Structure 1
Amino acid sequence: MSMAASRLRSERVSRIVLMGVSGCGKTTVGVALGARLGLPYIDGDDLHPPENIAKMSRSEPLDDSDRWPWLAQVGDALASLNGGAIVGCSALKRVYRERISREVGAPVTFVHLAGSRGLIGQRLAERSGHFMPTSLLDSQFASLEPPSADEQAITVDIDQPFDKIIAHIVRALEEQDK
Structure 2
Amino acid sequence: MIEVTIDSIRVSLMSQHRIVVLKEENGSRFLPIWIGPFEADAITLKLQGIDAPRPLTHDLLKSVIETLGGEVTHIVINSLEKNTYFARIVLDVDGDTIEIDSRPSDAIALSVRVNAPIYVAEEVMEQAGLLPEEEISLTEGAGASTARREREEEDDEDEDLGVFTDFVEGLDLDSLLGN
Q: Which bin holds the TM-score, normalised by the shorter protein?
A: under 0.3
Q: Which has the higher contact order (CA 8 A, sep 6+)?
A: 1
TM-score relative to the length of structure 2? 0.25
